[in-house]
Amino acid sequence: MNLAELRKKLLAAARAHPPGGVVPYAFEKRVMARLAEKPALDLFAIWNRTLWQAVAPCLAVTLFLGIWTFFAQHNDNSRETLAADLENSLYAPLDNQTETW
């Protein structure tokens, strides 16, 4: 359906049925009372705002540590990589095959 035609039909239907002039009793007072109320505490909004404020410092620390790691001088002359060292540490208890229960 053509959107312009649909818009014309909806506007014509709205003009054919104007809103009533009757307002509920004390409507204005109820609205003003709701506006004066203190808004409810939204913990999700507070948590969201806190996390977004922490983005910049965390990003700065991450970039600093990444650059520091990239340009750091390796003083030890061992050829063993960190992955091999981790593997040796994890499998050290399993390497003792001579022990029997």
Q: What is the pLDDT of residue 56?
A: 95
Q: Does 59 fall in a domain?
A: yes
Q: State the residue range of the domain holding 66.
A: 42-70
Q: Does 18 fall in a domain?
A: no
Q: Does 22 fall in a domain?
A: no
Q: How many CA atoms lie within 13 A of 59 on its CB side?
A: 6
| pLDDT tens track for 18-51 | 888 888 899 899 989 988 888 888 999 999 999 9
Q: Does 19 fall in a domain?
A: no
Q: Does 77 fall in a domain?
A: no
pLDDT band at residue 11, thresholds of 50, 70 and 90?
A: very high
Task: Return phi, psi of residue 85, to 5°.
Answer: -65, -40
Share of the chain above pLDDT 90, in %: 42
* Domain count for the chain: 1
- Please state the rounded mean pLDDT for residues 52-56: 96
Q: Which residue has the higher pLDDT, 31 or 81?
A: 31
C-alpha 17/C-alpha 15 separation (Å) is 5
Residue 37 CB neighbours (<10 A): 7
